[in-house]
Structure 1
Amino acid sequence: MADQAMKSLGSVLARQGILVAFILFMVSFTLWNPRFIDVDNVFGVIRSSAILGIMALGVTFVVIGGNLDLSVGSMLSFSAIVVLDLHENPAFGPALAIPAMFAMTLCLGAINGFLIGYLRLNSLIVTLGMLSAIHGLTLTYSGGQNMDIANQNETWFDVFGRGEALGIPIPVLIFLLLAAFLGIVLAKTPFGRKVYAVGGNGTAATFSGIPRARVVFMTYLISAFCVATAGLIQASRTMGAQNTVGQGMELEVLAAVILGGASLLGGSGTIFKTVIGVLILGFIQNGLLLAGLEFYVQFVVTWIIIILAVWLDIATKRGKLWSPIA
């Protein structure tokens, strides 16, 4: 009976190692500073992590499909600048600015999807090039200027970044609802199974009749949609944006996805674990801030905690703390 219980516990740990790491991390920081687990602090961390989290949801599809998307940071800058500029255009206003921004961002995602999915170009090279291209496009579009909404008290645009529903901040609500929806798409639909198949073995998936190019194309559209959503929240939260607001975020997004257990080789990962990865990053920064550590110390401690979390996840899956091949 005891052996069966231990096997069951080991099975749970093997499947949810990153969740165990997250719980241990939360308990440790709570013991260090009880304010860490305050409801207001928790909601504040989730709210501040919502933009990164929403972007990570889309990139999870791309990574599971066996590719990378390093253009999401500059794409976020583009989305925020465009929606703010069109908001101030009398011919658009917020009602038309939002769908127009989504359409333009999806076009950028479609370019990524076409080059990588249909032309079979390397995703690292393509999206790294798109990072620079979109950054240049953003600067050209904005004329190198930052964007702001002039009459902030006369618009409902701030509801996406500052509003609440049933006591829950709208950014948090959007993040959780989108995570639930995309989690179902990935885990319970034929399309989700095709994403796993393409990422696990693209050649075998093609011979099995799965339209690899179309699946890859769709993963980049999903990523672009998530970036547009994050851009809308970013612009609405601050009612303005710098043209470099998303610079560097592509690495944070990728770190959250990989921290959540997705493999860079493709074929593995879940939306739920990506959410955990996002929360780990958010709560690490918050916990170190409450601890009063200097910002340069926070970088080192954050790296150590991420390494320990990933190590625990891998160790629970293989049942050993050290690799059997040393």
Structure 2
Amino acid sequence: MAGLTKQGVAGFLAKQGILVAFVVFMIVFTLANPRFIDIDNISGVVRSSAILGVMALGVTFVVIGGNLDLSVGSMMSFSTIVVLDLHDKIGPALAIPAMFALTLCLGAFIGILVGYLKLNSLIVTLGMLSAIHGLTLTWSGGKNMDIADKEGTWFAVFGQGSILGIPTPILLFALVAAVLGIVLSKTPFGRKIYAVGGNGTAATFSGVPRARVVFLTYLVSSLCVAIAGLMQASRSLGSQNTVGQGMELEVLAAVILGGASLLGGSGTIFKTVIGVLILGFIQNGLLLVGLPFYVQYVVTWVIIILAVWLDIAAKRGRLLSPIA
């Protein structure tokens, strides 16, 4: 009985330990600063997490399919700079679809390399991280972008507006999560993603077009990056050309925190949303208790290590390896 109890506790911690840690964080932060659970603060955290969240939703498709995408940060910088630059040149009505088209082309290129040419996704997207950053600097001439007439444009609605008192970024995050959640859990395409990520060879022998599925997951990821870039550009109506730098690690941390396995084949959109909120509330809590902003980077690193450890532990059914 003691052995079963020990295994049961280990299994629970392996699968739900991050949620337990989140609850502990919430309690500690609330005791340290009661403002932590104010409605305004909660709304602010969700709103500020929306851009990261939308990107994480797309990367969830890629990770479940058994691959990685480390290019999303640089790609978000690119989409933000492009839509801001084109806003003043051709107007927002044309700038937005043009930015989406260019961003999707980048996602399609990655999808071809990983899906059809079967190159390693880590190497490809790591290389694309640098390449897209260079493309962004080339497009902007190394300068930051600002909209000339910030008062006379409707473009701000995507990042600063609200509908029925709910901030537009939160609504966009919820809408994208709802649509992608249905696609992933209720459609044949979603089931094919799980099959390819779980066992690509078996999926291929079962008639699943593995290359096409992988290609489409990167298209979904780039689509979400374009939406995030639109929200980022609209929120400030200006941007640095490195606005997305480093976000790929936060995105990956949120996806893994939500339960998506680095080995592929598992994960859900709903749990990714939870992972995004965990990161957002932990970072907000650290600031409210008076810790410097750069502590967030250390905490994010610890969270990534913890999430990967729990993911591996869940696969083997114990927190420590048999050797340990």
Normalising by structure 2, what TM-score? Answer: 0.90
The structure-2 alpha-carbon separation of the partners of 1:116 and 1:49, relative to structure 1 and needing over 3 Å to count, comes to same
Q: What's the counterpart of residue 76 of structure 2?
A: 76
Compute the displacement of 1:16 (Å). Answer: 5.0
Q: Is the 8 A contact 1:55 1:223 kept in 2?
A: yes
Q: Given the alignment, which residue of 99, 110, 125 partners 2:108? A: 110
Q: Secondary structure, in 3 states, of the residue corresponding to 2:287?
A: helix
Q: Unmatched 5+ residue regions in structure 1?
A: 1-7
Task: State the alpha-carbon separation in 1 of the partners of residues 155 and 101 from structure 2.
Answer: 18
Residues 44-123 of structure 1: matches in 2 within 5 Å? Answer: 44-89=44-89, 92-123=90-121
Q: What's the counterpart of residue 22 of structure 1?
A: 22
Task: State the alpha-carbon separation in 2 of the partners of residues 74 and 312 from structure 1.
Answer: 28
Q: What's the counterpart of residue 42 of structure 2?
A: 42
Q: Secondary structure, in 3 states, of the residue corresponding to 1:158?
A: helix
Q: What's the counterpart of residue 258 of structure 1?
A: 256
Q: What's the counterpart of residue 274 of structure 2?
A: 276
Q: Unmatched 5+ residue regions in structure 2?
A: 1-7
The structure-2 alpha-carbon separation of the partners of 1:64 and 1:238, relative to structure 1 and needing over 3 Å to count, comes to same
Compute the displacement of 1:321 (Å). Answer: 5.3
Q: What's the counterpart of residue 205 of structure 2?
A: 207
Q: Given the alignment, which residue of 185, 188, 191 partners 1:187? A: 185
Compute the displacement of 1:235 (Å). Answer: 0.3
Q: Is the 8 A contact 2:10 2:318 kept in 1?
A: no
Compute the displacement of 1:178 (Å). Answer: 0.7
Q: Is the 8 A contact 2:74 2:242 kept in 1?
A: yes
Task: State the alpha-carbon separation in 1 of the partners of residues 172 and 51 from structure 2.
Answer: 10
Whether 1:288 aligns to 2:282 is: no
The structure-2 alpha-carbon separation of the partners of 1:126 and 1:301, relative to structure 1 and needing over 3 Å to count, comes to closer
Task: State the alpha-carbon separation in 2 of the partners of residues 116 and 309 from structure 1.
Answer: 25
Q: Is the 8 A contact 1:17 1:316 kept in 2?
A: no
Compute the displacement of 1:188 (Å). Answer: 1.5
Instruction: Report which stretch shifted further, 190-199 or 139-148.
Output: 139-148
Q: Is the 8 A contact 2:15 2:310 kept in 1?
A: no
Compute the displacement of 1:298 (Å). Answer: 4.4
Task: State the alpha-carbon separation in 2 of the partners of residues 136 and 63 from structure 1.
Answer: 25
Task: State the alpha-carbon separation in 2 of the partners of residues 116 and 297 from structure 1.
Answer: 35
Compute the displacement of 1:56 (Å). Answer: 0.6
Q: What's the counterpart of residue 130 of structure 1?
A: 128
Compute the displacement of 1:22 (Å). Answer: 3.0
Q: What's the counterpart of residue 231 of structure 1?
A: 229
Q: How many residues align?
A: 318
Q: Is the 8 A contact 1:13 1:317 kept in 2?
A: no
Q: Is the 8 A contact 1:159 1:170 kept in 2?
A: yes
Q: What's the counterpart of residue 5 of structure 2?
A: none
Q: Which amino acid aligns with 2:157?
A: V
The structure-2 alpha-carbon separation of the partners of 1:313 and 1:144, relative to structure 1 and needing over 3 Å to count, comes to closer
The structure-2 alpha-carbon separation of the partners of 1:84 and 1:316, relative to structure 1 and needing over 3 Å to count, comes to same
Q: Secondary structure, in 3 states, of the residue corresponding to 2:155?
A: coil
The structure-2 alpha-carbon separation of the partners of 1:305 and 1:249, relative to structure 1 and needing over 3 Å to count, comes to closer
Q: Is the 8 A contact 2:10 2:319 kept in 1?
A: no
Whether 1:216 aligns to 2:214 is: yes
Deviation per CA, 1:205-226: give whole Å up to 9, x if none.
0000000011001000000000
Instruction: Report which stretch shifted further, 316-325 or 66-75.
Output: 316-325
Compute the displacement of 1:70 (Å). Answer: 1.0
The structure-2 alpha-carbon separation of the partners of 1:325 and 1:272, relative to structure 1 and needing over 3 Å to count, comes to farther
Q: What's the counterpart of residue 173 of structure 1?
A: 171
Q: Given the alignment, which residue of 142, 155, 159 partners 2:157? A: 159
Deviation per CA, 1:77-123: give whole Å up to 9, x if none.
1101111111101xx21111111110110011000011111111111
Q: Which amino acid aligns with 1:211?
A: P
Compute the displacement of 1:34 (Å). Answer: 1.4
Identity %: 80
